[in-house]
Amino acid sequence: MWFSNLICYKFKQDVTYAQEDFEKALEQDIFRPCGSQDMTTFGWTKAFGKHGQMLSHFSQDSILVCAKREEKVLPAAVINEMVAEKIEQIEQQENRPVKKKEKDDIKENILATLLPQAFKKSSLQFAFIDQKSGWVIVNSASFNKAEELLALLRKSLGTLPVVPAFANYDLDLQLTHWLTEFSAPEGFAIGTDAELQEPDDNGAQVKLKQHDLSSDEIKTHLENGKRVTKLALDWRERVKFVLQNDGTLKRLSYAEALKDQNADIPKEDLAVKLDADFILVSEEIKELLEDLTKGLGDDEGLES
């Protein structure tokens, strides 16, 4: 429930979802386990797992959803070894080379044989929709995985008019400006981790952890033209995170006082606690993002 990485999107128009209709839409793409010949499956599962009954959880203005992926584990090295053995056997017995199409067929047949016995692994991916402010927040460190969840949501709902929230900001410029001035927007403080890179995409990188980012060493890197691609920030001493130049917020950590806020809810009321935690986390994230958007100014970069 405590979102650790954020990939953020914004609706291009106001949205309002009725809970019954939304739930029925998700039911069209409910998760199913892998069949004997499935390599992977992906679908919606209960938002609160065994502690809930619904695929979606509506609370205040937000909607929590959870997608589940199951995939077969077939090590490439094992498959390649079996393919090589089969090819060698054919070439020795029939005294002829095996051409590419036949090699592909051999690999496909081996995969079909192994799939039913393959081990399975599963993973969950959470996201929430803020109907009031128009955010869609995916708990993911990977844009590809976030886009997979959005594609599933779009398939279920029929349409999902969203765009990456920070796509139009020159975050390299913003982060570099903040570190150069050693001054973050109101409500934010600069942390101790950063990454700097020379303007060339293949240029040298400087990775800093638990470092005094106000030091002369950092100033020299900036004066030499390096740009900041990642910067650790502390929001109101409530949430720490790393803002990247691609717009992702990573490595979120929450203040202990915040995490303990619902600690008095009895363990037997876990569904109640999950709801309370979701309200707490979603509201914190929304406030953080609103402050961040305000601090970034207009979406063309630094204000003149």
Annotate the chain with DSSP letters as a single string: ----SEEEEEESS-----HHHHHHHHHTTB-----TT-SEEEEEE-TTGGG-S-SEEEETTEEEEEEEEEEEE--HHHHHHHHHHHHHHHHHHH-SPPPHHHHHHHHHHHHHHHGGG-EEEEEEEEEEEETTTTEEEEE-S-HHHHHHHHHHHHHHHS---EEETTTTS-HHHHHHHHHHHT-PPTTEEEEEEEEEE-SSTTS-EEEESS--TTSHHHHHHHHTT-EEEEEEEEETTTEEEEEETTS-EEEEEE-HHHHTTTTTS-GGGHHHHHHHHHHHHHHHHHHHHHHHHHHH-STTSS--
List, for residues 206-220, the tens digit of each pLDDT value.
Answer: 999 999 999 999 999
Alpha-carbon distances of 235 from 40, 179, 246, 290, rounded to whole Å: 39, 16, 19, 12
Q: Which residue has the tokens 């039913």?
A: 116
pLDDT of res. 298: 59
pLDDT of res. 97: 93
List, for residues 34-70, the tens digit of each pLDDT value.
Answer: 998 899 999 999 999 999 999 999 998 999 999 999 9
User: Residue 170 contacts by C-beta under 8 Å, 6 or more apart in sequence?
Assistant: 300, 301, 302
pLDDT of res. 200: 77
Alpha-carbon distances of 48 from 41, 194, 240, 258, 278, rounded to whole Å: 20, 35, 26, 21, 10
List, for residues 86-143, the tens digit of each pLDDT value.
Answer: 999 999 999 999 999 999 999 999 988 988 888 999 999 999 999 999 999 999 999 9
Averaged pLDDT score across all residues of the chain: 93
Token pair of 73, please?
A: 């584990």
Q: How confident is the model at residue 166 (pLDDT cuts 50, 70, 90)?
A: very high
Q: Which residue has the tokens 């793409």?
A: 29
pLDDT of res. 199: 83
Token pair of 264, please?
A: 């008095």
List, for residues 2-31, the tens digit of each pLDDT value.
Answer: 999 999 999 999 999 999 999 999 999 999
pLDDT of res. 228: 97
pLDDT of res. 48: 96
Q: Determine the Cα–Cα distance for residues 234 and 218; give it in Å rounded to an integer.
A: 19
CB 123 within 8 A of CB 140: no
pLDDT of res. 1: 74
pLDDT of res. 41: 97
pLDDT of res. 115: 86
Considering the chain, what percentage of its residues have pLDDT values greater than 70? 97
Angle between helices 171-181 and 216-223 (to 10 degrees): 140
List, for residues 173-210, the tens digit of each pLDDT value.
Answer: 999 999 999 999 999 999 999 999 998 767 789 999 99
